[in-house]
């Protein structure tokens, strides 16, 4: 039985000033579609009301209402003769679908090929659980990066005239999407607008912005479809890193009463693609340490939310909230003593039968036993939330991490053998490695822009460690200073696996035994 005195608003775990995401299993394509909506509408989520008496999109409606109308307006030829070809194109290249191939399959949205992709979507199938809000908060702290990405994703479309604009970089899939977009008459209604929230981990958000800026350096030399695929992978990667860092740092912030904490997080990653590799034990241990710390992160989040609800605290900065928690005074103790007394006094408020009343009494007894180990009224009050919400957040928090880490895919930051013997561990999939290499071969120029230069294997390993905290070779890591020979051999095998992956994706060729001649060369070169 849940405690009736805890209102729905109180029980909500999501707190945008900490992490804007309602952690659940998300689809990264949905995240991009909703992010484009936020970018187009200055942080506003738009609920689309279709003006043609249509409330739902499916393959047939796109064919009959849009493609047929384009043909009638002489902007398209051949639809009537080859409707099957149009449907194949829709399914394979233009739309994202849920339950694909099953009786209940539906369109979720257009693929995130353009900033206007969000205009054709079925909202209930395009939920992102506010994940796009967090990405927007991160990228919004660097307006020049946000606007540059917005300009690139808007290519080919004039939003004022709602017409296509000729552009040599526009591919056929994006052009087809824009032809459909211009057929949609909408009455946009703002559902809500993201408040001007600063990311809690500003350095991590700035790292994401810097990577987007590096990716934009390739906009004239990289195919648009590849660019968007890279953007999706990069967004998932940084959401995962942000969550890792947050789970590690937030409990420290509570303990220190300050936002300024030492960020020494790191994670060993397994590049061998073998469930029982030598380095897997280290990678599994680091991942398990992170997941074990999730409960402390949940408690820290509930603590901050509880204190923010105190009279006068809602307008305070996060630094001030943390200082309140660290330097708890008698007024805080009195406030939460009253709140806790309300919880215990109203335990049976909604009980209507004798059986429900008995369940409530049992619940109160368990709750009081649960709280006796806490010292302050705030800690006891927070434990009430933990008893109700922690199991739910632990389950769905892992689901969220799995999805943004692109688990068990070519873009994986995490792999999982789905057994106790082969547990979750950090990894770098070949597609993710490709993205990171393309970004790390760039070096900033003094007057702005980037140069593209080859990297050695050692330089790449060091860059990934210094920039993202991911350990491929831990031989020089202080925490492995006293490691045995087995550990050093594991890291050597991991470096060999890195070289093998780089060869497979075409970035690396052994021209000599001399390490100075073993260079990683970028796939897409440019003159910035």
Give the residue-averaged pLDDT of 236-257. Answer: 96
Q: What is the pLDDT of residue 374?
A: 84
Region 59-64 average pLDDT: 85
CA dist 236 and 253 (Å) reads 25
CA distance 497 to 436: 16
Q: Which of 23-27, 60-64, 140-144, 145-149 has the lowest mean pLDDT?
A: 60-64
The arithmetic mean of pLDDT across residues 228-245, rounded, is: 97
**How large a percentage of the chain has pLDDT more than 90?**
51
What's 197's DSSP letter? P
What are the Cα distances from residue 33, in Å, to 19, 130, 136, 374, 453?
A: 20, 12, 12, 44, 33
> Pick from 133, 104, 101: which is nearest to 37 by CA?
133
Q: What is the rounded distance in angstroms from the CA atom of residue 100 to the CA atom of residue 482?
A: 52
Q: How far apart are CA 179 and CA 157, in angstroms?
A: 10
Q: Taking Cα atoms as reference points, which of 294, 203, 234, 241 lies closest to residue 31? A: 234
pLDDT (tens digit per residue) in 318-363: 999 999 999 988 889 999 998 888 877 776 666 667 777 777 777 7
Give the whole-angstrom CA distance, residue 138 versus residue 193: 15
Contacts with 505 (C-beta within 8 Å, 6 or more apart), sequence order: 430, 433, 434
CA–CA gap between residue 181 and residue 162 (Å, rounded):
9
Give the tens place of pLDDT for each residue, 65-78. 888 888 888 888 88
33-37, 264-268, 397-401, 480-484: lowest mean pLDDT where? 480-484
Pick from 382, 395, 417, 397: nearest CA to 301: 382
Tens digits of per-residue pLDDT, 141-200? Answer: 999 999 999 999 999 888 777 788 877 778 889 988 888 888 776 666 777 788 788 999
- Can you give the pLDDT at residue 6? 61
* Residue owning tokens 């934009």: 216
Q: Is the pLDDT of residue 241 over 60?
A: yes
- Mean pLDDT score of the chain: 87
- HSE-up of residue 174 (Cα within 13 Å, Cβ side): 25
Q: 510 pLDDT exceeds 70?
A: no
For strands 267-268 and 470-471, give the pairing. parallel
- What pLDDT is recorded for position 50? 60
Among 172-181, 278-287, 368-377, 508-517, top mean pLDDT goes to: 278-287
DSSP letters for 292-342: HTHHHHHHHHHHHHHHHTSTTTTTS-HHHHHHHHHT--HHHHHHHHHHHHH
pLDDT class of 7 with cuts at 50, 70, 90: low
Average confidence (pLDDT) over 438-456: 89
pLDDT band at 246 (very low <50, low <70, confident <90, very high): very high
Q: How far apart are CA 318 and CA 324, in angstroms?
A: 10
Q: How far apart are CA 321 and CA 249, in angstroms?
A: 16
């Amino acid at each position: 039985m849940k405690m009736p005195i805890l209102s729905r608003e109180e029980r909500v775990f999501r707190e945008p000033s900490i992490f804007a995401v309602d952690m659940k299993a998300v689809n990264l394509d949905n995240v991009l579609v909703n992010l484009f909506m936020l970018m187009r509408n200055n942080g506003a989520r738009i609920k689309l009301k279709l003006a043609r008496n249509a409330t739902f999109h499916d393959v047939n409606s796109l064919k009959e209402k849009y493609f047929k109308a384009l043909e009638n307006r002489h902007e398209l030829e051949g639809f009537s003769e080859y409707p099957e070809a149009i449907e194949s194109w829709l399914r394979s290249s233009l739309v994202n679908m849920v339950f694909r191939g099953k009786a209940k399959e539906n369109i979720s949205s257009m693929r995130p090929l353009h900033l206007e992709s969000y205009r054709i979507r079925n909202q209930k199938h395009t939920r992102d659980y506010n994940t796009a809000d967090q990405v927007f908060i991160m990228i919004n702290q660097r307006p020049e990066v946000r606007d540059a990405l917005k300009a690139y994703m808007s290519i080919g479309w004039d939003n004022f005239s709602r017409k296509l604009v000729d552009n040599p970089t526009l591919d056929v899939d994006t052009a087809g999407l824009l032809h459909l977009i211009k057929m949609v008459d909408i009455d946009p209604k703002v559902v809500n607008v993201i408040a001007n929230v600063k990311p809690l981990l500003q350095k991590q958000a700035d790292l994401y912005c810097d990577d987007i800026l590096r990716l934009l350096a390739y906009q004239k030399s990289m195919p648009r479809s590849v660019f968007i695929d890279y953007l999706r992978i990069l967004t998932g990667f940084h959401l995962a890193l942000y969550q890792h860092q947050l789970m590690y740092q937030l409990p420290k912030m509570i303990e220190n009463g300050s936002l300024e904490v030492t960020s020494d997080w790191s994670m060993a990653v397994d590049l061998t693609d073998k469930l029982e590799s030598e380095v897997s034990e280290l990678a599994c241990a680091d991942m398990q340490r992170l997941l074990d710390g999730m409960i402390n992160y949940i408690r820290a989040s509930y603590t901050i939310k509880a204190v923010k609800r105190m009279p006068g605290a809602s307008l305070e900065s996060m630094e001030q909230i943390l200082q309140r928690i660290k330097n708890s005074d008698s007024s805080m103790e009195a406030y939460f003593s009253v709140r806790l007394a309300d919880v215990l006094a109203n335990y049976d408020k909604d009980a209507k039968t004798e059986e429900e009343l008995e369940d409530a009494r049992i619940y109160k007894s368990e709750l009081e036993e649960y709280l006796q180990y806490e010292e302050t009224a705030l800690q006891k009050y927070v434990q009430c939330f933990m008893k109700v919400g922690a199991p739910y957040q632990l389950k769905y928090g892992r689901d969220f991490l799995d999805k943004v880490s692109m688990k068990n895919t070519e873009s994986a930051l995490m792999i999982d053998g789905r057994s106790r013997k082969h547990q979750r561990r950090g990894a770098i999939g070949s597609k993710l490695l490709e993205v990171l290499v393309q970004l790390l071969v760039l070096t900033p120029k003094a007057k702005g822009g980037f140069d593209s230069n080859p990297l050695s294997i050692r330089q790449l390993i060091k860059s990934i460690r210094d920039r993202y905290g991911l350990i491929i070779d831990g031989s020089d890591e202080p925490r492995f200073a006293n490691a045995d020979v087995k550990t050093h051999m594991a890291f050597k095998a991991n470096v060999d696996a890195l070289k093998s992956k780089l060869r497979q994706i075409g970035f690396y060729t052994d021209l000599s035994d001399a390490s100075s001649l073993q260079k990683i060369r970028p796939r897409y070169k440019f003159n910035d």
